[in-house]
Amino acid sequence: YLEFMKWCPPFLIKKLPTSRKKQIELWDPYGGEDIIFEFVSYKMPVESTRGHQRISIWADELGSEGFYDEQRPRLMIENGDFLITYTVTEDTKSTVLFDQIFDRAQVYYRSQFMLDEYYKKVLGEDKARIEQTNSPYSIAVIQSASDDNPVLTTEQVVEYLMEYPDPEVQMMRRFCIFQQLSSKIFPQFRWDTHSIDLEKEFKARMGVTC
Protein backbone atom coordinates (compact mmCIF):
# COMPACT_ATOMS: atom_id res chain seq x y z
CA TYR A 1 0.00 0.00 0.00
CA LEU A 2 2.75 2.45 0.96
CA GLU A 3 4.71 1.74 -2.21
CA PHE A 4 1.57 2.11 -4.33
CA MET A 5 0.73 5.48 -2.76
CA LYS A 6 4.30 6.63 -3.32
CA TRP A 7 3.98 6.26 -7.09
CA CYS A 8 0.27 6.86 -7.72
CA PRO A 9 -0.51 10.40 -8.98
CA PRO A 10 -2.74 12.06 -6.33
CA PHE A 11 -5.16 13.48 -8.93
CA LEU A 12 -6.20 9.94 -9.90
CA ILE A 13 -7.33 9.00 -6.39
CA LYS A 14 -11.10 9.03 -5.96
CA LYS A 15 -11.48 7.20 -2.63
CA LEU A 16 -8.95 6.02 -0.07
CA PRO A 17 -9.25 2.82 2.03
CA THR A 18 -11.43 2.80 5.13
CA SER A 19 -11.65 0.43 8.09
CA ARG A 20 -14.44 -1.43 6.28
CA LYS A 21 -13.11 -1.39 2.71
CA LYS A 22 -9.42 -2.11 2.13
CA GLN A 23 -9.41 -0.72 -1.39
CA ILE A 24 -8.48 2.36 -3.38
CA GLU A 25 -10.74 3.75 -6.10
CA LEU A 26 -9.04 5.59 -8.95
CA TRP A 27 -10.40 7.73 -11.75
CA ASP A 28 -9.73 6.21 -15.15
CA PRO A 29 -7.64 8.87 -16.99
CA TYR A 30 -9.14 7.63 -20.28
CA GLY A 31 -12.73 8.10 -19.14
CA GLY A 32 -13.66 4.49 -18.46
CA GLU A 33 -15.07 2.94 -15.30
CA ASP A 34 -13.35 3.50 -11.98
CA ILE A 35 -10.29 1.35 -11.32
CA ILE A 36 -10.36 -0.47 -7.98
CA PHE A 37 -7.28 -1.77 -6.19
CA GLU A 38 -8.08 -4.12 -3.31
CA PHE A 39 -5.49 -5.08 -0.69
CA VAL A 40 -5.77 -8.58 0.76
CA SER A 41 -3.71 -10.16 3.53
CA TYR A 42 -2.79 -13.85 3.56
CA LYS A 43 -3.98 -13.86 7.17
CA MET A 44 -7.53 -13.08 6.07
CA PRO A 45 -9.92 -16.04 5.64
CA VAL A 46 -9.87 -17.36 2.08
CA GLU A 47 -13.67 -17.04 1.99
CA SER A 48 -13.40 -13.26 2.31
CA THR A 49 -12.05 -12.98 -1.25
CA ARG A 50 -14.89 -14.91 -2.86
CA GLY A 51 -17.53 -13.35 -5.07
CA HIS A 52 -15.33 -10.66 -6.62
CA GLN A 53 -14.31 -10.78 -10.28
CA ARG A 54 -10.86 -9.40 -11.01
CA ILE A 55 -8.91 -8.27 -14.05
CA SER A 56 -5.52 -8.87 -12.49
CA ILE A 57 -4.07 -10.26 -9.25
CA TRP A 58 -0.59 -9.67 -7.88
CA ALA A 59 0.45 -12.04 -5.10
CA ASP A 60 3.72 -11.13 -3.38
CA GLU A 61 5.63 -13.92 -1.64
CA LEU A 62 4.04 -17.16 -0.45
CA GLY A 63 0.36 -17.69 0.29
CA SER A 64 -1.52 -20.86 1.11
CA GLU A 65 -2.55 -23.37 -1.54
CA GLY A 66 -6.17 -22.52 -0.75
CA PHE A 67 -5.50 -18.85 -1.48
CA TYR A 68 -4.18 -19.59 -4.98
CA ASP A 69 -6.99 -22.03 -5.73
CA GLU A 70 -9.60 -19.46 -4.74
CA GLN A 71 -8.13 -16.61 -6.81
CA ARG A 72 -8.07 -18.33 -10.18
CA PRO A 73 -11.88 -18.51 -10.63
CA ARG A 74 -12.00 -14.74 -9.98
CA LEU A 75 -10.04 -14.19 -13.21
CA MET A 76 -11.97 -16.46 -15.56
CA ILE A 77 -14.70 -14.08 -16.78
CA GLU A 78 -12.27 -11.24 -17.52
CA ASN A 79 -9.56 -13.62 -18.78
CA GLY A 80 -7.27 -11.84 -16.34
CA ASP A 81 -3.67 -12.47 -15.40
CA PHE A 82 -2.15 -13.74 -12.16
CA LEU A 83 1.26 -12.32 -11.24
CA ILE A 84 3.34 -13.93 -8.50
CA THR A 85 6.62 -12.52 -7.19
CA TYR A 86 8.47 -14.88 -4.93
CA THR A 87 11.94 -15.50 -3.50
CA VAL A 88 12.45 -19.18 -2.77
CA THR A 89 13.19 -20.02 0.85
CA GLU A 90 13.70 -23.23 2.79
CA ASP A 91 9.97 -23.21 3.59
CA THR A 92 8.64 -26.58 2.43
CA LYS A 93 5.30 -25.03 1.43
CA SER A 94 7.06 -23.53 -1.59
CA THR A 95 6.37 -26.86 -3.33
CA VAL A 96 2.94 -25.39 -4.12
CA LEU A 97 4.52 -22.83 -6.43
CA PHE A 98 6.97 -25.35 -7.85
CA ASP A 99 4.38 -28.00 -8.72
CA GLN A 100 1.60 -25.71 -9.94
CA ILE A 101 3.51 -22.78 -11.46
CA PHE A 102 7.25 -23.17 -12.06
CA ASP A 103 7.12 -26.77 -13.21
CA ARG A 104 4.32 -26.08 -15.72
CA ALA A 105 5.77 -23.03 -17.47
CA GLN A 106 5.26 -22.66 -21.20
CA VAL A 107 8.15 -20.23 -21.47
CA TYR A 108 11.12 -19.32 -19.26
CA TYR A 109 12.82 -15.92 -19.37
CA ARG A 110 16.24 -15.84 -17.68
CA SER A 111 18.54 -12.95 -16.82
CA GLN A 112 22.11 -13.00 -18.13
CA PHE A 113 23.40 -13.33 -14.57
CA MET A 114 21.31 -16.48 -14.09
CA LEU A 115 22.70 -17.94 -17.32
CA ASP A 116 26.33 -17.16 -16.49
CA GLU A 117 26.54 -17.65 -12.73
CA TYR A 118 24.03 -20.43 -12.10
CA TYR A 119 23.33 -22.50 -15.19
CA LYS A 120 26.85 -22.23 -16.65
CA LYS A 121 29.04 -22.18 -13.52
CA VAL A 122 26.98 -24.30 -11.13
CA LEU A 123 25.21 -26.75 -13.45
CA GLY A 124 27.55 -26.62 -16.43
CA GLU A 125 24.60 -26.11 -18.79
CA ASP A 126 24.12 -23.76 -21.72
CA LYS A 127 20.60 -22.41 -21.43
CA ALA A 128 18.72 -20.09 -23.74
CA ARG A 129 17.70 -16.73 -22.38
CA ILE A 130 14.19 -17.44 -23.66
CA GLU A 131 13.17 -21.11 -23.60
CA GLN A 132 9.89 -22.42 -25.00
CA THR A 133 8.42 -25.73 -23.84
CA ASN A 134 5.49 -27.81 -25.04
CA SER A 135 3.60 -27.33 -21.80
CA PRO A 136 -0.15 -26.80 -22.38
CA TYR A 137 -0.35 -24.25 -19.55
CA SER A 138 -0.27 -20.52 -20.28
CA ILE A 139 2.43 -19.77 -17.71
CA ALA A 140 5.59 -17.68 -18.06
CA VAL A 141 8.42 -17.77 -15.51
CA ILE A 142 10.94 -14.93 -15.21
CA GLN A 143 14.14 -16.02 -13.46
CA SER A 144 16.49 -13.45 -11.99
CA ALA A 145 19.05 -13.40 -9.19
CA SER A 146 19.56 -11.13 -6.20
CA ASP A 147 22.48 -9.63 -8.14
CA ASP A 148 20.01 -8.38 -10.78
CA ASN A 149 18.52 -6.02 -8.21
CA PRO A 150 19.59 -2.55 -9.45
CA VAL A 151 19.93 -1.15 -5.92
CA LEU A 152 22.32 -3.90 -4.73
CA THR A 153 25.94 -4.60 -5.59
CA THR A 154 27.37 -8.10 -5.86
CA GLU A 155 29.49 -7.35 -2.78
CA GLN A 156 26.37 -6.55 -0.77
CA VAL A 157 24.69 -9.75 -1.94
CA VAL A 158 27.71 -11.88 -0.98
CA GLU A 159 27.89 -10.22 2.44
CA TYR A 160 24.19 -10.88 3.00
CA LEU A 161 24.54 -14.55 2.01
CA MET A 162 27.26 -15.07 4.63
CA GLU A 163 24.45 -15.16 7.19
CA TYR A 164 23.42 -18.53 5.74
CA PRO A 165 26.13 -21.20 6.18
CA ASP A 166 24.15 -23.84 4.26
CA PRO A 167 25.18 -23.73 0.55
CA GLU A 168 21.71 -24.92 -0.55
CA VAL A 169 20.05 -22.07 1.32
CA GLN A 170 22.51 -19.63 -0.25
CA MET A 171 21.61 -21.02 -3.66
CA MET A 172 17.90 -20.60 -2.99
CA ARG A 173 18.30 -17.07 -1.68
CA ARG A 174 20.61 -15.83 -4.42
CA PHE A 175 19.26 -17.58 -7.51
CA CYS A 176 15.70 -18.34 -6.37
CA ILE A 177 16.21 -22.04 -7.04
CA PHE A 178 13.74 -24.57 -5.69
CA GLN A 179 15.25 -27.52 -3.84
CA GLN A 180 13.53 -29.79 -6.36
CA LEU A 181 15.85 -28.43 -9.06
CA SER A 182 19.02 -29.43 -7.21
CA SER A 183 18.49 -33.13 -7.93
CA LYS A 184 21.60 -34.82 -9.32
CA ILE A 185 19.45 -37.16 -11.43
CA PHE A 186 17.31 -34.54 -13.14
CA PRO A 187 18.73 -31.04 -12.45
CA GLN A 188 15.65 -29.47 -14.04
CA PHE A 189 12.33 -30.82 -15.29
CA ARG A 190 11.78 -30.36 -19.01
CA TRP A 191 8.46 -30.96 -20.72
CA ASP A 192 10.18 -32.12 -23.91
CA THR A 193 12.28 -34.67 -21.97
CA HIS A 194 10.13 -35.90 -19.12
CA SER A 195 6.67 -35.97 -20.71
CA ILE A 196 5.17 -38.19 -23.41
CA ASP A 197 2.25 -37.98 -25.81
CA LEU A 198 -0.36 -39.99 -23.91
CA GLU A 199 -2.56 -40.83 -26.92
CA LYS A 200 0.39 -41.78 -29.13
CA GLU A 201 2.13 -43.93 -26.51
CA PHE A 202 -1.10 -45.56 -25.34
CA LYS A 203 -2.06 -46.65 -28.86
CA ALA A 204 1.46 -47.94 -29.50
CA ARG A 205 1.47 -50.05 -26.34
CA MET A 206 -2.05 -51.36 -26.97
CA GLY A 207 -0.77 -52.83 -30.24
CA VAL A 208 1.90 -54.90 -28.47
CA THR A 209 0.92 -58.54 -27.87
CA CYS A 210 2.70 -61.12 -25.75
Task: Read off the pLDDT of residues 2-44 as tens digits, 9 standing for 90 and up.
Answer: 888 888 999 999 999 888 888 899 999 898 889 999 888 887 7
The residue extents of the domains of the chain are 105-196
Per-residue pLDDT, 98: 82
Per-residue pLDDT, 210: 42
Average pLDDT, the chain: 82
Which of 8-17, 123-132, 159-168, 192-201 shows the lowest mean pLDDT across its residues?
192-201
Average pLDDT estimate for 77-88: 88
For residues 52 and 187, the model is more confident at 52
Per-residue pLDDT, 99: 82
What is the pTM for the complete model shown?
A: 0.72
SS in 3 state form for the chain?
Answer: CHHHHHHCCHHHEEECCCCCCCEEEECCCCCCCCEEEECCCCCCCHHHHCCCCCCEEEEECCCCHHHHHHHHHHHCCCCCEEEEECCCCCCHHHHHHHHHCHHHCCEEEECHHHHHHHHHCCCCCCCCCEEECCCCCCCEEEECCHHHCCCCCHHHHHHHHCCCCCHHHHHHHHHCCCHHHHCCCCCCCCHHHHCCCHHHHHHHHHCCCC
